Amino acid sequence: MKPWLPGLAAASIGVQVGAAMVATRLVVDQAGPGSLAMLRYAIGLLCLLPIIAALRAWPSFARRDVLPIALLGIGQFALLIALLNFGLARVPAGRAALIFAAFPLLTMLVAAASGHEALTWRKSLGVLLSFLGVGIALSEKLLTDLAPAQSLDGWIGELAVLAAAFCGAVCSVYTRPYIARYGALPVGAWAMAASVGFLALLALNEGYFANPWRFDAEAWWVIGFIGLSSGIGYGVWLWALRHGTPTRITQFLSLSPVTAALLGVVWLGENLTLPLLLGLGAVLLGLRVAQAPQPGQTASNKMSGSKT
């Protein structure tokens, strides 16, 4: 396998997350955050099941691993997405995207603190450059967002987005050993199924099942896109995590807010600004620095080197 393939897979997910973030803003007001997350991953699970059936890759876990994988799935899907949707309903998209861009930085710290991955100056510099690039790309939106007085509801929304990023960082680090043991599709399917069950409880509390067909046709198309891309994308994401270290893989999520901004130019007719281009350049530079092999590292172990 080519050593750059996990990075390419992760980059495609960074773009997909950015597109899903824009799409979520279009429909989050029509459903509660838990209901929208449930629909997202119910559709995603339905997309994975035919692939698993065709490949005969049904989950076959050791009894001791069933509950941890389910809990990690609930954290990765249910809590992360519900918290992110909760935040997106309360803070502007640009500010939420910048806060969520701390995901790779938090992953690096969690991986180092737990002993799963060594903390190197090259990875640290690359992650910080990418985070700075996101800030530059979104600088004009952030200045606009910060102009009004910050409300308590806004602070709560920002904390929810930060909690979502931290939840994703923890799950990305601790899911990797299970992926290495059982494979991406079985782990992804069981984790997603557990999360849908948990999210159904949140949707019930939000009153979703009293009127499950509340969305208009356009909203259903958007929800279908989010679910389909999430189902396929998570399988790709787990495969990338299996073959790369958590910090290097999650750093590609820095592409998501920049992608969201670029989609604003294409879909919404927003201006292509110099800060956006400079920010994209900084993100790409950060990725280049962090993905470069360490001195003495060969191409074959470029994307490995963490503990499982």
pLDDT digits (tens, 9 = 90+) for 60-109: 889 999 999 999 999 988 888 778 878 877 777 667 777 887 888 888 88
Q: What pLDDT score was predicted for residue 246?
A: 83
Contact 86, 162 (CB under 8 A): no
CB atoms within 10 A of CB 307: 12
Q: What pLDDT score was predicted for residue 150?
A: 56
Q: Could you give the CA distance from residue 125 to residue 292 in angstroms, rounded to a whole number?
A: 12
Q: Is the pTM of this model over 0.85?
A: no
Q: Which helix or strand (DSSP H or E) is residue 260 part of?
A: helix 255-268
Spatial CA neighbour of 145 closest among 187, 216, 181, 97: 97
Q: Which of 226-230, 257-261, 281-285: highest mean pLDDT?
A: 226-230
Contact 297, 255 (CB under 8 A): no
Q: What are phi and psi of 244, to 5 degrees?
A: -140, 165
Which pair of structure tokens corresponds to residue 238? Answer: 């787990």
Percent of the chain beyond pLDDT 70? 87
